Structure 1
Amino acid sequence: MSDDQRQIHRRGLLQATGAVTAAGLLTVPAAAQVAGAEIAGAQPAGSIRPPLRIAAEPLSQALLNAIRITPRVNHDPFPAYADTYLPFAMAQSNEVTRSGRVWTAWIGGEDGPVAYLLASYSDDHGQSWRQPVFVIDPAAYGLPMGTRVGCFWCDPLGRLWLFFKQSCSHFDGSCSNWYIRCDQPDAETPVWSEPTYVSFGASITKPIVRQNGEWLLPVSLWERWHIGKPFQYCYHELDAVRGANVFLSDDEGVHWRYCGGHIFNDSCFNEHSVIELTDCRLWMLSRCHKEIAQSFSENGGRAWGPQSTAFPHANAKCVARRLQSGQILLIKHGKDFVNRTGRWDLTAFLSSDDGETWKGGLLLDERRGGTGVSYPDIAQAPDGTIYVHYDRGRTTHAEILFARFRDEDVLAGKLVSSDAVLKNIVKDKNGMRGASA
């Protein structure tokens, strides 16, 4: 199938089956019931959460429906999670609100079927952190699934969104992508909306706001070879969109609809960043096994051009985002764009020419061992301060960290601004740094 044929097929599938539905399998049941789920060790809400495992279960319609059961958010997670969340940590996202409050989200439990998402915030630029203020943990409510992906984003109205996915097994072939939103994220007691369904797949990188006012949300639907039992023969109707997609909103997030996407050869989880270039083209960077691949769109993300290599890279997430200065910030593994490294040497670069060339090179964390340093996310405060969130040694050190710096630090290749810091711990196996209730 040619690239042009694939694009027509992908657009036709989504247009024929609804804005965010495909073949009727992406609708949320009007009265979804928890059925067919057997969770070993599951406890009632409010109890101390034990380690959980999901009992093997044959394929059934109830199991397929489970991923579209509306999630429950635990806004009072302590003491239930007092110690259980500490041994494992996988970075997901951070964001900075208008007042400078720094929010962070990570995955606890495991990188697997009973993973759960935790969130915290800091009101002193990351010196101290609240104990987790909410948890999204489907297995704790008796559901046969976990939450392994989350992404914070502050929209132009100052509202804070958290996109997150639910999936049965490691990956069930479809997933469900949801959001909760806090309209006053700087409040003493932030109040979040009920979860709203967005799409299939998962969003691990922030939306962008285009020059024409459209919002574009990256949505990844993983490759078929990731699908676990008993779902390995399910969801073939989604194969045409099994790649790096974008969803569009032209009403400030009230509705999201499929826009387009690209299926990259040799892709691994996608984890794609989308950037609007100065000529209004869109640039997509996506994770592959040995490189970061790229594709361009000239029609707002509806169709994407041929794949090419952006640069060699570890089989790991990198992230790119346009800053307030107009420059593009790239966080990648490796100190150059020639040699492929592993999950170490997490480095920041800047481009002032839409990614044609890169300047600076601020080494954020060089450390190796275990799972290394990985899964960066970018946030920028209203005053221009940049926060990069990542993890280190997910099972060995279980650290969530951040670096804080400015454009000039990246260009200098060293810390030159007065408030710049590196390798700051958010949480480790001992708990939250400078934790407060």
Structure 2
Amino acid sequence: MTMPIQVPFVRQPAASLMACGFVTGLLSSFASALHAQTVDPETVLGDTTLPFAEQVSQNFPYGITGKTPPSLIKVNFEGQPPYHKHRINLRIFQGCPQVEISEGGRLWATWFGSNVQAERAPYHNDQFSVISTSADGGKTWKEVFVFDPSELLGGGASDPMLWKDPNGSIRFIGLRNIDFKGQDAFASSAWEFTMLDPESEYTAWTEPRLLGNKNISVMKPLIFPDGTVMRSMDDFKLVGKPDKVRIRFLKEDVDGKPIFVSEFPVDNDASFAEQMPIIRKDGSLFTFYRAKKGQKFAESFDGGKTWKLGGYYPMQFSINTKCILKTLPSGRVLLVANDVQVKAEKGKNKYYYTDDNGKECDLEEPKTARTRMTAYLSDDDGKSFTHRLLLCDEGQISYPSAALSKDGSIYIVYDQGRGVIGQHTIFLSKITEQDILAGKLVLGESFLNNIVSRPSDQGGGRREGDKI
């Protein structure tokens, strides 16, 4: 892969157990479909070629367009005035975290937040993304950068991403949203920055690369053995609009050049798809995607060019919320998801889980699909997930992200009660495969639910009477 441009681009502020066979054996009982073609990337992403730096649209603050590049703001550095607008004691809402770990062991996390309101699509006004780091294994954290497009015509940030590329470099993706009144194809645009020194808390960054005008920053890309990359995409503006193709993948070569964009067949049962494929031992691809009654699945047998939909996965989990899949170095498959099931009972939804003895247990509080964040393991390439470890069941828990360290540790972040008084917490758990296999923490270095960020612990957070 080509080396990034080395310039500092920062400015100061102004299981449920499943005994049935593998899903491929169940395809005959599901409605399957095959989308047999790829499409030209530019027809989906738009023309991502940037104007020359001298052109008026690249010079802030005049001539702003959807291609005017964003920047990262350095915060909490020595000498910064203590009253800057991104300080944590002003924050009343935050969530949707991501985590990554450097080659040297420094942890990085990102999430979005707001001092004003809860998340409001499509432009996410008054919303920014925080980048935080830890040099002590997640014990303490420091917020060091912010992605805040508000100075560009009131733009808002949503769905940030951290991931590690095939070279081991950590990249950040910020999704920017500006209301151009329908006059700009890049009103929503995904921009990628690469860290130049991920071992330093105030790393320099490359100039941002424009990835496209779709949401491409929710799920970590899949890296193939040859160094090519597949990114998950979704056109969130089309959620709820029937018969619209919107769930896609972007395949890039080792230099980041688009190879193809592939599409799922239309599935009107899908919501914010949040698909995250893995490569199975036979070379085929498998992914879950978010749907109204749980997770559906899809498979590809040609490297992601075409996809066959398989319907709902037999084990119910993460109902209309995000889960993640990741193949571990051992060959086992990690699934992090909400261990909650739902069924209709007397005209109402009953939320419950199944314990290790197969007994149905009612949820007490909260009665929601977004709790009981759980790590699962599959020994059989995703046919079943027969090992599980409950990570957190304190309140509304959602949106996991995971990163693997060189010593085999698995770092997992998720959010709690994004706008709930006393919560709006980003949690970090550190576990191992041995912990999941045992169903409890067995290694001394493992821990559950360390706090990465909780504004109410630092004089911030939502208070009684705040309407967000």
Q: What band does the TM-score fall into relative to the shorter chain? A: 0.7 to 0.9
Offset of residue 186 of structure 1:
0.9
Equivalent in 152, 161, 164 of residue 142 of structure 1: 152
Q: Say if 1:205 and 1:272, in contact at 8 Å, map to a contact too.
A: yes
1:315 aligns with 2:320: yes
Q: Distance in 2 between matches of 1:264 and 1:240?
A: 8
| TM alignment of 1:272-291, pairs within 5 A | 272-291=275-294
| TM alignment of 1:24-423, pairs within 5 A | 28-30=50-52, 31=55, 33=57, 66-76=65-75, 79=82, 80=84, 81-83=86-88, 86-109=91-114, 110-112=118-120, 113-114=124-125, 115-130=127-142, 132-139=143-150, 141-168=151-178, 175-187=188-200, 189-202=202-215, 203-225=217-239, 241-243=245-247, 245-251=248-254, 253-262=255-264, 263-310=266-313, 311-312=315-316, 313-334=318-339, 342-368=369-395, 372-396=396-420, 397-423=423-449
Q: Distance in 2 between matches of 1:95 and 1:316?
A: 21
Offset of residue 145 of structure 1:
2.4
Report which structure shows greater RCO (CA 8 Å, sep ≥6). Answer: 2
What is the RMSD of the two structures over their aligned residues, measured on CA atoms?
3.2
* Distance of aligned partners of 1:192 and 1:226 in 2 relative to their CA distance in 1, 3 Å threshold: farther
Q: Say if 1:74 and 1:135, in contact at 8 Å, map to a contact too.
A: yes
Q: Distance in 2 between matches of 1:254 and 1:25?
A: 15
Percent of aligned pairs with the same residue? Answer: 27
1:409 partner SS: helix
Q: Say if 1:328 and 1:352, in contact at 8 Å, map to a contact too.
A: yes
Offset of residue 307 of structure 1:
3.6
Q: Deviations over 1:149-170 (max 9, x none)?
A: 111112232211112211236x
Q: Say if 2:391 and 2:429, in contact at 8 Å, map to a contact too.
A: yes
* Distance of aligned partners of 1:247 and 1:24 in 2 relative to their CA distance in 1, 3 Å threshold: closer
What letter corresponds to residue 351 of structure 1 in structure 2?
S
Q: Which runs of 5+ in 2 are unaligned?
A: 1-31, 344-351, 354-367, 460-468
TM-score if structure 2 supplies the norm length?
Answer: 0.74
Q: Distance in 1 between matches of 2:274 and 2:370?
A: 15
What letter corresponds to residue 387 of structure 1 in structure 2?
Y
Q: Which runs of 5+ in 1 are unaligned?
A: 38-61, 228-235
Residue in 1 that maps onto 2:349: none
| TM alignment of 1:422-433, pairs within 5 A | 422-430=448-456
State how many pairs are aligned: 381
* Distance of aligned partners of 1:254 and 1:85 in 2 relative to their CA distance in 1, 3 Å threshold: farther
What letter corresponds to residue 285 of structure 2 in structure 1?
L
Higher alpha-carbon deviation: 290-299 or 69-78:
69-78
- Larger-Rg structure: 2
2:157 partner SS: coil
Q: Distance in 2 between matches of 1:374 and 1:226?
A: 21
Q: Distance in 1 between matches of 2:268 and 2:244?
A: 14
Q: Say if 2:107 and 2:138, in contact at 8 Å, map to a contact too.
A: yes
Q: Distance in 2 between matches of 1:334 and 1:23?
A: 35
* Distance of aligned partners of 1:287 and 1:125 in 2 relative to their CA distance in 1, 3 Å threshold: same
1:269 partner SS: coil
Q: Distance in 1 between matches of 2:236 and 2:433?
A: 34
TM-score if structure 1 supplies the norm length?
Answer: 0.79
Q: Distance in 2 between matches of 1:361 and 1:23?
A: 38
Q: Distance in 1 between matches of 2:226 and 2:342?
A: 32
Higher alpha-carbon deviation: 320-329 or 383-392:
320-329
What letter corresponds to residue 219 of structure 1 in structure 2?
M
Q: Deviations over 1:82-110 (max 9, x none)?
A: 24653211122000111111100010104
Residue in 2 that maps onto 1:44: none
Offset of residue 349 of structure 1:
0.4
1:410 partner SS: helix
Q: Deviations over 1:397-417 (max 9, x none)?
A: 111111111001111111111
Q: Deviations over 1:181-225 (max 9, x none)?
A: 013211354111111011222221111222343221212222524
Q: Distance in 2 between matches of 1:350 and 1:337?
A: 22
1:89 partner SS: strand
Q: Distance in 1 between matches of 2:382 and 2:291?
A: 19
Q: Distance in 2 between matches of 1:248 and 1:257?
A: 5
